[in-house]
């Protein structure tokens, strides 16, 4: 029997409960206990949400995005820790460096996940080596999904968690996915799921066997054909080793109390714009458009965006533009959240 020949694979590496795991490295006494990361670590702090929860906390129904107060009610014995982005940056950089040292192209998708493209005969062996190296060098656990494209590899990681390896290819795609709901597919959200349900399509198998013209009539040619491709297990197989370059910088704040005075809103937007601009300047980038997000106390949320007269980094121009965008809103209710996003020109 001949040995397997090398072929192209895509591996999706996802660090398990990443933020919580970074905290547990410096608080080993909390290993095995429910830990919740978010805000300043004070569960009574208003309008702060869970950034990450350990698996032990998740067993109580705690999840990212949940208000800290709700998390404390669900899991009163949990330890709450403040979010520490600098520590997460450092840990992420260390992991991504280890992945690059393996000699394969690595495409970083955030703090805790990356794609690795490799031409190997045994991708499982490579996946196990990745897990071993990361655990030995950082003390962090990761899961690895294996396939021949990014979308299917990312879905495979979901089956690998926690701290495992899973392979999802043409050979087992329909065996694993056929009866699952359409929102089990990568990038298929509630709105798309609702539209598909209106067509009588609720499972991956049904979507994969839907006529393409029916889908394009509802979703348009691009999205309709993409949905069909996803349901059949297809996707993008290109792993780029180019460094990730942010296309925008933003800052958002949820206020301890709702803002009712326009002067307070102006001051908050000005501060957010200046903070985002400081990030832009530090990266030697140039702003092209300014966006402002407003969320009222009824949770009505909208974002408006406008192009600058000329790209630049002048603080007065940027803050004035942000205030002009705020003027576009008819703010007739107390404001719960404000955000400013600065969109950037490609680096020269």
How confident is the model over 191-225, as pLDDT tens digits?
999 999 999 999 999 999 999 999 999 999 999 99
Q: What average pLDDT score do residues 236-264 get?
A: 87
* pLDDT value for 245: 74
The pTM of this model reads 0.77
The least confident of 65-69, 91-95, 111-115, 239-243 is 239-243
Q: How many CA atoms lie within 13 A of 307 on its CB side?
A: 3
Residue 181 DSSP one-character state = B
Reported as type and span, the H/E element at residue 316 is helix 315-327
Predicted confidence at residue 300, as pLDDT, reads 86
Query: pLDDT tens for residues 140-164?
Result: 999 999 999 999 999 999 999 999 9
Give the integer Cα–Cα distance in Å for 321 and 83: 31
305 DSSP 8-state letter = E
126 or 110, greater pLDDT: 126
Report percent pLDDT > 70 for the chain. 99
**Mean pLDDT within 245-266:** 89
Mean pLDDT (the chain, rounded): 94
Residue 241 has pLDDT above 90, yes or no: no
- The CA distance from 50 to 36, in Å, is 7
Where does residue 110 fall: left (phi above 0), alpha (psi -120 to 50 degrees), or beta otherwise? left
Catalytically annotated residue among 113, 125, 264, 343: 113
Helix (H) or strand (E) holding 165: strand 165-167
In degrees, to the nearest 5, what angle opens at C-alpha 251 toward C-alphas 250 and 253?
150
Active-site annotation holds for 113: yes
C-alpha span between 177 and 12 (Å, rounded):
18
């Amino acid at each position: 029997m001949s040995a397997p020949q090398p072929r192209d694979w895509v591996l999706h590496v996802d660090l398990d409960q990443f933020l919580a795991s970074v905290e547990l490295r410096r608080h080993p006494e909390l290993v095995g206990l429910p830990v919740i990361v978010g805000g300043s670590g004070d569960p009574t702090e208003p309008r702060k949400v869970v950034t990450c929860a350990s698996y032990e906390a998740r067993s109580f129904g705690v999840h990212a995005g949940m208000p800290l107060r709700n998390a404390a009610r669900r899991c009163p014995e949990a330890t709450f820790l403040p979010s520490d982005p600098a520590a997460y940056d450092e840990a992420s950089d260390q992991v991504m460096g280890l992945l690059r040292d393996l000699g394969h192209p690595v495409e970083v998708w955030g703090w805790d996940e990356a794609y690795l493209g490799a031409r190997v005969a045994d991708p499982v062996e490579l996946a196990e080596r990745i897990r071993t190296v990361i655990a030995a060098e950082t003390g962090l656990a990761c899961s690895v999904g294996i396939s021949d494209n990014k979308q299917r590899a990312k879905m495979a990681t979901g089956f690998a968690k926690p701290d495992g390896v899973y392979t999802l290819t043409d050979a087992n795609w329909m065996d694993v996915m056929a009866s699952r709901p359409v929102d089990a597919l990568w990038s298929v959200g509630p709105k798309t799921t609702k539209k598909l349900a209106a067509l009588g399509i609720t499972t991956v198998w049904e979507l994969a066997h839907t006529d393409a013209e029916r889908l394009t009539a509802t979703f348009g040619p691009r999205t309709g054909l993409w949905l069909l491709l996803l349901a059949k297990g297809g996707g993008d197989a290109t792993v780029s080793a180019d460094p990730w370059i942010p296309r925008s910088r933003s800052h958002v704040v949820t206020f301890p109390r709702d803002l009712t005075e326009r002067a307070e809103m102006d001051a908050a937007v000005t501060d957010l714009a200046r903070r985002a601009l400081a990030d832009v300047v530090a990266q030697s980038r140039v702003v092209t458009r300014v966006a402002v997000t407003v969320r009222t106390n009824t949770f009505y949320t909208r974002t408006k965006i406008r192009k600058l007269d000329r790209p630049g980094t002048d603080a007065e121009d940027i803050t004035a533009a942000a205030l002009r965008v705020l003027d576009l809103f008819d703010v007739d209710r107390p404001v719960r959240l404000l955000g400013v996003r600065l969109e950037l020109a490609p680096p020269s």
